[in-house]
Amino acid sequence: MHQPSPSRSSLPLADLSRYACRWPVNDAKPAELHLFCGQRTEGTKPYCKAHCLLAYRKRGAETDAA
């Protein structure tokens, strides 16, 4: 799956507010800073709208598109 690149809103976990998207946006190695999306979350989900679409798919949706 395509991993989005960090954007200006990317934040470390410690800096995320309660309503900030927790989708990881970098491929941090051990001892490197892990960054997360940081956009406003969708309802009670831990992700923004764009990342909810990636995270919450109906079963078979990936194979149906092939």
Q: List per-residue pLDDT tens for the chain, 66 residues long.
A: 444 544 567 999 999 999 999 999 999 999 999 999 999 999 999 999 999 999 998 877 665 555
Instruction: Report d(CA 60, CA 33) in Å as an integer.
Output: 34
Q: Which amino acid is at 58?
A: K
pTM for the predicted model, two decimal places: 0.72
Instruction: Report d(CA 1, CA 20) in Å as an integer.
Output: 22
Tokens at residue 22, please? Answer: 């927790």
